[in-house]
Structure 1
Amino acid sequence: MAQSVERRTLEVDGVPLSYLVAGDEAAPPLILLHGTFWSRVWQPILPALGEYHRCYALDFPGFGRSGGELDVGQASVPALAQVVLKAADALGVDKFDLAAHDIGGGVAQQLAATSGRVRKMVLMNAVMFDSWPVPAVERFRDPKVRDNTSEEDLLGARRKSTQACAIRTLSEEELAEYLSPWQSPARARSWMAMAAAADPRYTLDLVPALKEAAIPTRLVWGRDDDFQKIAFARRYVEEIPNADLVEVDGKHIPTEDSPDDVATAILEHLAGDRPGRSD
């Protein structure tokens, strides 16, 4: 039976972090991370994932429905990885499975390579190697660009890029929900800070440790992604042990184009971590 999804809040370093939760408290924990979007990217598949896992789809500080505001230093991959570990501690979670999208995938790789707490990992259209930042993000590494970008400018750019992340045409209601966080100046600045902190050295430097850790990893990829090309996913499974790839119909947010296929691919990968289902 599909599980209900609730939004809750926890506190990390005095900052209220919002997260979506689904699934039984006794089920194996699955933490889900976003990148330049927010926890909304996971919403279409959380009811299905929650049938077998206790799911926690976090919003980073200054993103989604969370409080706080990130500066460039706080928005780096290593810094965000520490936020995830502190959130896991606050949730009473020691070891966990991990699913991540976009720049959140860089955070996930950091955790898989260094924390000793990740059991299995799923990377969905995630950054890796030197696949990032894409030009539309990289331009924000220039402080002048950040200073001269208004909330209205950013909102317009996010609207265009969000629709470009799906094959199907998102409804006005769906777009409004995706874009709603960036009505806030603090969240707009946090987005620009994450863009400014985007640096491929974080993922490139992790490659030797990822090879050694050999965390069981599944890449689930919208094959028509214009931002994170599937060639990088294919390279990952060639170079990193214990990794495989499932291609699905979709672009950068395949949970919007192929939610059932994405959920199935994730659940099949994580199946060894959950008890047998009794119906």
Structure 2
Amino acid sequence: MAQPGERRTVDVDGVPLSYLAAGDATAPPLLLLHGTFWSRVWQPILPALGEHSCCYALDFPGFGRSGGELDVGQATVPALAQAVLKAADALGVEKFDLAAHDIGGGVAQHLAATSGRVRTMVLMNSVMFDSWPVPAVERFRDPDVRESTTEADLLAARRKSTQGSTNRTLSDEELAGYLSPWQSPARRRSWMAMAAAADPHFTLDLVPALQEAAIPTRLVWGRDDDFQKIGFARRYVEEIPNADLVEVDGKHIPTEDSPDAVATAISGHLAAAR
């Protein structure tokens, strides 16, 4: 039994990938993916999810507490999806439930549409259709911007984005935890690579396959999100079969604003789908 939030690593192609673990190893596996943040976004609800699932909240290479570093080619949605599949293989997981946030939601949609290994999916304030990249991310597609961005610049931008992602005011300790990975130059470069690789065609092109796959999907959304507007979530439910939407109080990281409501919505969906 993994204690909620216990941090472990798994070797993937010689790179130590970090993940937060929770739950019994015999429970159905649930992979949780992040986007422009890191696995810290899942920490508030892992104790609840671990009651019924074996949880693996992964850090992508070059993010969070993982080793490695992403370049732009390695940071595309399809490339990150392959990294997730390799991590699942290394963990001994064949088929899995999937929950994803932000750009991780684009990766989840790719996996749901193409891998044949996703049993059910949760998208939390996720990119979809042409909802992304938002301007603060899109500007990093310019190599000159990436080259000229200093450590102080990126930390200031991440601080502003994190503070704008919750309705409640994060404590100094919480904010420092969210920002801690970007003290590392490799992680700063990986973040800029993910931003540079952000392209809506990765999600727009998946729509026909998602409609055909019709994997049981719940969208859990902080309704006050300024980055990923809830209108896109409502559109997803209209266009993709077998999907529903649960709106909760909060902004872009609703696990911080409404952890109980988010955990209940995810657990209820997984239980019904299983």
The two structures share one fold, judged by TM-score above 0.5: yes
Contact 2:216 2:273 in 1 (8 A): no
The residue aligned with 2:63 is 63
Question: Shift of the alpha carbon at 1:6?
Answer: 0.6
Residue 92 of structure 1 aligns with an amino acid whose one-letter code is: G
**1:182 has 2:182 as partner:** yes
Residue 64 of structure 2 aligns with an amino acid whose one-letter code is: G
| Runs of 4+, deviation exceeding 4 Å | none
Contact 1:28 1:273 in 2 (8 A): no
Distance 1:135 1:273 in 2: 36
Deviations 1:64-85 (A, max 9, x none): 0000000000000000000000
Residue 261 of structure 2 aligns with an amino acid whose one-letter code is: D
Contact 1:3 1:51 in 2 (8 A): no
**1:28 has 2:37 as partner:** no
Contact 1:131 1:228 in 2 (8 A): yes
**1:42 has 2:29 as partner:** no
Question: Shift of the alpha carbon at 1:272?
Answer: 3.5
Residue 36 of structure 1 aligns with an amino acid whose one-letter code is: T
**1:197 has 2:205 as partner:** no
Q: Kindly report which structure 2 residues correspond to 1:153-172, keeping only aligned pairs within 5 A, or say none.
A: 153-172=153-172
The residue aligned with 1:106 is 106
The residue aligned with 1:115 is 115
Contact 2:3 2:21 in 1 (8 A): no
> Sequence identity of aligned pairs in percent?
86
Distance 1:37 1:125 in 2: 12
Question: Shift of the alpha carbon at 1:14?
Answer: 1.0
Contact 1:16 1:67 in 2 (8 A): yes
Which secondary structure state, in structure 1, belongs to the residue aligned with residue 73 of structure 2?
coil
Distance 2:62 2:244 in 1: 33
Deviations 1:181-212 (A, max 9, x none): 00000000000000000000000000000000
Q: Kindly report which structure 2 residues correspond to 1:81-160, keeping only aligned pairs within 5 A, or say none.
A: 81-160=81-160
Distance 1:132 1:261 in 2: 26
Distance 2:84 2:74 in 1: 12
The residue aligned with 2:229 is 229
Q: CA RMSD in A?
A: 1.0
Question: Shift of the alpha carbon at 1:5?
Answer: 2.4
The residue aligned with 1:216 is 216
Question: Shift of the alpha carbon at 1:273?
Answer: 5.3
Distance 1:173 1:117 in 2: 38
TM-score by length of 2: 0.98
The residue aligned with 1:277 is none
The residue aligned with 2:173 is 173
Distance 1:3 1:49, change over 3 A: farther
Task: Give unpaired runs (5+ residues) of structure 2.
Answer: none
Contact 1:103 1:126 in 2 (8 A): yes
Which secondary structure state, in structure 2, belongs to the residue aligned with residue 37 of structure 1?
coil
Which secondary structure state, in structure 1, belongs to the residue aligned with residue 88 of structure 2?
helix
Question: Shift of the alpha carbon at 1:122?
Answer: 0.1
Question: Shift of the alpha carbon at 1:13?
Answer: 1.1
Which secondary structure state, in structure 2, belongs to the residue aligned with residue 55 of structure 1?
strand
| Count of aligned pairs between the two proteins | 273
